[in-house]
Amino acid sequence: MSISPIHFFQRSFPSANMVLLQGRQPILVDTGFGSDISETEELLREAGVAPENLSLIVNTHYHSDHVGGNYTLQTNYRIPIAAHRWEGEMINSRDREACSAEWLQQPVEPYMVNRMLSDGDELDAGGVPIQVIHTPGHTLGHISLYAPDQQILIAGDLFHQNDVGWINVFREGSGAMQRSLISLDRLATLPIRRAYSGHGPAIEAPSVSIDNARRRLEKWLQTPEKVAWHGCKRIFAYTLMIVDGIYEEEISEYLMACDWFHDFSRHAFKTEPHHFVTPLLEEMLRSGAAVRTDDGRYVAGAPYTSPRAEWSPTLPLPRQWPDVEKISPQL
């Protein structure tokens, strides 16, 4: 039996899933969260590809759980990185909105984008051709990758098996849901045998998941408050993962320092931030997005791997990153 040239790594939070295109010039799609870089390297070696033998890294989008390993892989092994040009240009100019890292308070180590991608571009891992499809919605520069020979789709965070990527209207614009719907409609025209999303298991019935995602987004267009709850719960749950829980008495002070919390409370729920702390905590517990431990900490309800002790959750923000010329020579 032949071995598939496309290797899927399902990963636990805080890392997103990865996909290895295992041709003569291996390409890695997404690199996980920064604190999981040792596991990222080990997964590659177990799959038979040493990190230094990668020909390219491709990011589906620039959120921290998808690009966190970029820094180490680029600086240690001189691996070039490709991303949609809209996000790549933001990264390389050190735009304060890059990765939404400042707004989300999610740490990302500095990197540069060496190859700017556009819709319709083609990549080749050496016998494994891949098509680049611009699928905005979750972010403006979000891309999906399609392997026509295998009829496999790498969907990033556009949709998951039983969920959709959260919609950030505060950074991606009020039309983000409509863009997601258009992206789903476009993918629905492809012959897809299997799909790999950024979170969760491989999707064996992609058309079903795409249809379910479309129906959910269409309902959200009529109930925008549900979009807001979906987003803020995921942001806060992810925070609880990367800091490994927050004591109840410290939560209010933490939230009041978060831009995302202020935007959701004031603009989505029409209330002052200090009035939204308790409703958010109650909803986190009710939905299972968080649990309260016996010692009074709120921790994420989903399984996750705590970042190792030496990992810093307070890395410099993109606007404080060194210029691209100082972190990596031209590759």
Tens-of-pLDDT digits for all 331 residues of the chain? 345 799 999 999 999 999 999 999 999 999 999 999 999 999 999 999 999 999 999 999 999 999 999 999 999 999 999 999 999 999 999 999 999 999 999 999 999 999 999 999 999 999 999 999 999 999 999 999 999 999 999 999 999 999 999 999 999 998 999 999 999 999 999 999 999 999 999 999 999 999 999 999 999 999 999 999 999 999 999 999 999 999 999 999 999 999 999 999 999 999 999 999 999 999 999 999 999 999 999 999 999 999 987 888 888 999 999 988 766 545 5
Q: Half-sphere exposure (CA, 13 Å, Cβ side) for 120?
A: 0
> Cα(148)–Cα(79) distance, rounded to whole angstroms?
25
Contacts of 222 (CB under 8 A, 6+ apart): none
Alpha helices in the chain (DSSP H): 37-46, 64-67, 70-77, 85-92, 101-104, 169-172, 176-187, 206-222, 224-242, 248-256, 259-263, 273-287, 324-327
Whether the model pTM is above 0.75: yes
Q: Which two tokens stand for residue 54?
A: 């990668």
Element housing 195 (H / E): strand 194-197
